Structure 1
């Protein structure tokens, strides 16, 4: 029954996140918000709404390992599985200067999370630091959206919005319904994941890093693969970078503000360094030292291999 509830919650999470993002994007466009800002905030951060709600719900239920593991595991999944699979299906050419500028911010955010968790506790003060950094990045995004309205990412978003015909009323309904279902499904997901971990005799961290992280990353997977297949490469990569920024600073920050979160040695010495490493691996591919950045099929295959190796290690180390 827990497996059925878990799978059902993940499916509801996927569809409700899609409705929420679609409705919010249309409403933002009708309100005159620049396409670049829609791409960076509404779409990039909107795909992380499942991680936010699941991590906050887990923190409220005093399941700290699940709260942090979900966000960290989702970030690793976003880079290795989602970008890897996307690049294998359609190599990602990076034209957007904004997307390239997001990478250093993501590296700084990941490093700050690593440093704050080093003492074994994410306190409320630490959470305020994460959320403050998130606010700074939001402000930076708003300034850039006004200074560089013709960025390649804005072109991708405009192309995507032009394909959608939706009234404001329908968009508002999708936002409302999506938010309600996201909230309910996150509760079902956390409850079933904790009970499943107990029944299987594995840690909540293991469940958070694998099953829950993969499920909450499904909106990013759908958005990036579809964008890349349409030739909207900057939107595909920008979606993942924006999502990871939100997970690191927004989701974990909000969860830590709800309740101080103990950080296990396993997270500090295994999972966070893996996240830092795969984030660093994006630089030579996405930034492009000798020309426009790109993630080709071979690099995508390497990322997929990293996902398989990391996930395999988690599974076998818990079974042994």
Structure 2
């Protein structure tokens, strides 16, 4: 009972802390005349990725490296398949050309880099340093590129820039920021401890717990941000939040986790052979989905949700050693995947001709 309360309390604190951090950080950035585009792709994305950072750092320092790896990989998969899927089902999502030209290719490259780094069974400090340096380069590039923003992009973030009108408002946003960081720290500690105890009690690997319970819990801020943005009809905030969060999960969360860990972070062979390749495939599929008319349609969102259900089913069946796992794999490999690839390819070429 106490373990369940620990997990629930951790999830609640993560959601509240993530929301406070996003509000405070975005408002302060706007108050100090930081570009709206940078706010969307960096500050807001970092804020919604903060739960992943808190959980992964806590897991790494406590010796639960599989939870840290599973949390990032699972969160990136969930961000695209579940969160974008749900957001697109609420309303079709408009995708900016910049995301297609720059940010999605960077997300794909970062995912491939993690796969290559993890191939030897561990993530070491120099690899974390390379990823963190890449993050700094991405932020600097975003600041420079933001000078070319148009008025439509700027209007998407007016709610942040208009939230501070006095010193009192400034102090409130600072309080939001600090409170968010504190809640994220406490929430991540409760969630990791609870999830680890559940894994031990059920005999389920820490990797599976990280890929499911922890990953979903730490992805809730992205879910709330993207679904609300979709519901309100805000241009491409939902898509930019997900892409930016995936970049930060890899370049910030994994890099800092590798840098602070007292020893190399071990990567489970299952993650190398199955989960990380799925993360790469999910990143790759974003390009044709986003490029078809610069729009994520409802049926494409539904397809992403089908993939998430199939992925979750495979994880659960594999964890329980169910005999059904043998039949589900070929169905996905030889049925769902080829059909989806053909559908997206046809849609992509049709969209390019228009």
TM-score over 0.5 (shorter chain): yes
Residue of structure 2 equivalent to 1:238:
240
Question: In the aligned structure 2, how far is the partner of 1:152 from the partner of 1:111?
Answer: 33
TM-score normalised by length of structure 2: 0.86
Larger Rg: 2
SS in 1 for 2:94: strand
Query: How far did residue 276 of structure 1 move?
Result: 0.6
Per-residue Cα deviation, 1:215-249 (whole angstroms, up to 9, x for no partner): 00000000001111111131110000000000011
Q: SS at 2:68's partner residue?
A: helix
Does the Cα contact within 8 Å between 1:64 and 1:261 map onto a contact in 2?
A: yes
More displaced 10-residue stretch of structure 1: 8-17 or 137-146: 137-146
TM-score using structure 1 length: 0.95
The answer to whether 1:274 aligns with 2:281 is: no
1:94 equivalent in alignment to 2:95: yes
Structure 2 partner of 1:50:
51
Q: Which residue number in structure 1 is paired with residue 311 of structure 2?
A: 310
Q: Distance in 1 between matches of 2:119 and 2:266?
A: 11
Q: Following TM superposition, by how much is the alpha carbon of 1:57 offset from its aligned partner in structure 2, in angstroms? A: 0.8
What is the aligned length?
A: 315
**How do residues 1-320 of structure 1 correspond to structure 2 at under 5 angstroms?**
1-98=2-99, 100-146=101-147, 148-150=148-150, 152-158=152-158, 160-161=159-160, 164=163, 167-259=169-261, 260-288=264-292, 292-320=293-321
Structure 1 residue 164: Cα displacement: 4.3
Q: CA deviation at 1:270?
A: 0.3
Q: Secondary structure at the match of 1:119?
A: coil
Gaps of 5+ in 2: 322-354
State the 1:92 CA deviation: 0.6
Judged with a 3 Å threshold, the aligned counterparts in structure 2 of structure 1 residues 143 and 98 are, in CA distance, closer, same or farther, namely farther
1:151/1:256 CA distance change after superposition, 3 Å: farther
Whole-Å Cα distance in 1 between the matches of residues 13 and 152 of structure 2? Answer: 32
Q: Is the 8 Å Cα contact of residues 103 and 243 (structure 2) preserved in structure 1?
A: yes
Where structure 1 has 5 or more consecutive residues not aligned to the other structure, the ranges are none
Equivalent residues of 2:30, 2:161 under 8 A apart: no
Give SS of 1:233's match: coil
CA change 1:164–1:96 in 2 (3 A) is: farther
Contact 1:99 1:238 in 2 (8 A): no
Aligned partners of 1:116 and 1:122 also within 8 Å = yes
CA-CA distance at 1:154 after TM superposition: 3.2
- Cα shift at 1:285: 1.6
Q: Deviations over 1:193-217 (max 9, x none)?
A: 1111101110110000000000000
RMSD: 1.5
Structure 2 CA distance for partners of 1:16 and 1:165, relative to 1, 3 Å:
same
CA contact (8 A) 1:153 1:235 kept: no
- 2: distance between equivalents of 1:318 and 1:218? 24
Would you say the 8 A contact 1:127–1:253 is kept in 2? yes
Q: Is the 8 A contact 1:96 1:152 kept in 2?
A: no
Deviation string, structure 1 residues 25-73 (Cα, Å, up to 9, x no partner): 1111111112111111111221100001111110000101001100100
Matched-pair contact (CA < 8 Å) for 1:100–1:287? no
